[in-house]
């Protein structure tokens, strides 16, 4: 069962490679019914501590969502220059874990094609596991239509938090990060009448009184890079660091890198509400500053569960696979939206009632629900 915060991970494995060299870790933070899952991150600077923090985040996401699976994460120290070899070696090395109930998916620096390589090398297919029914469709057929599920959930968290604050009219929104998550959130919020006034990618910040989201998406590549030579008329562009913080807005969605909001820049925050679309987007100090200033933050472990949650729904066989494709997708989106909405509302209720971080109390209450 998910454990109190103070405990150590269930286990942590150092990877040195089988049939080739490799440096990395698999951290299994918790096991539930012998199962755990999480993504695989490959960066030149990833550390065991970072992997452990991300595995803990996975535990929290599943606990909050009421999913009976533990949290895990893998990290590979590499620059991706020899991917085929790296992922073949990774697949051979983690083979016993994959077959033993530790499902490893994709995270930063790892693509669906890389996943196919390490699954193949390990002879692992998540459709089949002893003791549970087979998945009647393959992983990609299930998972690929759900690409916008994370952004959808983040949008639901934002709307729930705006409603809880008593806001009636449209909110002015800034989205930091315009990748898979940022684009889906911006679209979701615009469709519900909110006004996107700023969008940032790794090159800088684009702002206007009203940004046309579809037009921006049309000039953005698959990596979330906006082509500045093809921007709509009457927008302002700046390469000033963290300029997304200076745009006058009611809501800031963080959907880019770790620690985007930190002790050095948190004082620039203008929005009363921050929703984390990415993982660990704000540091502990930033969170304290935000709370002290009276702003509200909905953490990623509540808002961005769409990707992890929809994968876990399949691994734990909760998805009604008998539904036709469109209905199955709608079922997963609704399931995620329900969990995100309820967790956001409950978190804000606790925050309104007591000083301090409301997340531990909410986690404790969801842990008890899982034990029932």
Instruction: Give the binding site for ligand NAD (CB under 6 A).
Output: 108, 150, 176-182, 200-202, 223-225, 255-257, 277-279, 304, 307
Nearer to ligand NAD, 2 or 198 (CB): 198
Q: Which structure tokens are listed for 305?
A: 């569960």
Q: Which two tokens stand for residue 148?
A: 């916008």
CA dist list (Å): 274 to 159, 268, 278, 287, 293? 12, 13, 12, 10, 12
State the nearest-atom distance from the C-beta of 159 to ligand NAD, in Å: 18
Query: Which residue, 301 or 351, is less far from ligand NAD as judged by CB?
Result: 301
Residue among 82, 88, 106, 90 at smallest CA distance from 24: 90
**Closest CB 241 distance from ligand NAD, rounded Å:** 8
Burial degree of 324 (CB within 10 A; 0-12, 13-18, 19+): exposed
Among 134, 107, 129, 131, residue whose Cα is nearest residue 118: 107
Nearer residue to ligand NAD within complex by CB, 129 or 280? 280
Smallest distance, ligand NAD to C-beta of residue 48, A: 18
Is 236:207 a contact under the CB 8 Å cutoff?
Answer: yes
Shortest separation between residue 278's beta carbon and ligand NAD, angstroms: 3
Q: Which is nearer to ligand NAD, 181 or 315 (CB)?
A: 181
CB nearest ligand NAD: which residue?
179
Residue 86 or 282: which CB sits closer to ligand NAD?
282
Give first-to-last CA distance, the chain, whole Å.
11
Supply the minimum distance, in Å, between the C-beta of residue 211 and ligand NAD. 14
What contacts 16, CB < 8 A, 6 or more positions away?
22, 23, 93
């Amino acid at each position: 069962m998910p454990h109190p915060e103070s405990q150590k991970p269930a286990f942590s494995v150092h990877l040195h490679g089988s049939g080739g060299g490799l440096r990395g870790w698999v951290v299994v933070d918790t096991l539930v019914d012998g199962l755990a899952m999480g993504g695989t991150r490959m960066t030149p600077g990833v550390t065991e501590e970072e992997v452990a923090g991300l595995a803990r985040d996975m535990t929290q996401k599943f606990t909050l969502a009421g999913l009976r699976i533990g949290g895990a994460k893998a990290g590979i120290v590499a620059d991706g220059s020899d991917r085929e070899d790296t992922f073949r070696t990774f697949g051979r090395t983690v083979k016993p874990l994959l077959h033993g109930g530790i499902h490893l998916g994709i995270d930063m620096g790892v693509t669906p094609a890389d996943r196919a390589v390490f699954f193949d090398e390990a002879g692992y297919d998540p459709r089949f596991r002893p003791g549970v029914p087979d998945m009647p469709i393959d992983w990609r057929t299930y998972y690929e239509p759900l690409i916008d599920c994370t952004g959808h959930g983040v949008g639901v968290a934002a709307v729930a938090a705006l409603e809880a604050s008593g806001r009636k009219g449209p909110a002015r929104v800034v989205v930091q990060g315009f990748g898979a998550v940022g684009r889906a959130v911006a679209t979701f919020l615009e469709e519900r009448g909110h006004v996107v006034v700023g969008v940032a990618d790794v090159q800088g910040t684009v702002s206007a009184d009203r940004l046309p989201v579809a037009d921006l998406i049309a000039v953005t590549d698959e990596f979330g890079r906006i082509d500045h030579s093809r921007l709509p008329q009457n927008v302002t562009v700046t390469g000033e660091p963290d300029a997304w913080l200076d745009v006058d807005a009611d809501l800031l969605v963080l959907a880019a890198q770790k620690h985007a909001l930190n002790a050095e820049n948190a004082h620039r925050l203008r929005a009363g509400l921050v929703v984390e679309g990415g993982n660990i987007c704000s540091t502990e100090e930033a969170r304290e500053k935000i709370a002290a200033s009276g702003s509200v933050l909905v953490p990623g472990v509540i808002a961005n569960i769409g990707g992890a949650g929809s994968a876990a729904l399949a691994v734990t066989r909760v998805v009604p696979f008998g539904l036709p494709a469109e209905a199955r997708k709608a079922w997963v989106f609704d399931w995620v939206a329900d969990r995100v909405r309820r967790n956001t509302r409950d978190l804000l209720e606790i925050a309104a009632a007591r000083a301090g971080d409301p997340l531990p109390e909410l986690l404790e209450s969801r842990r008890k629900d899982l034990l029932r």
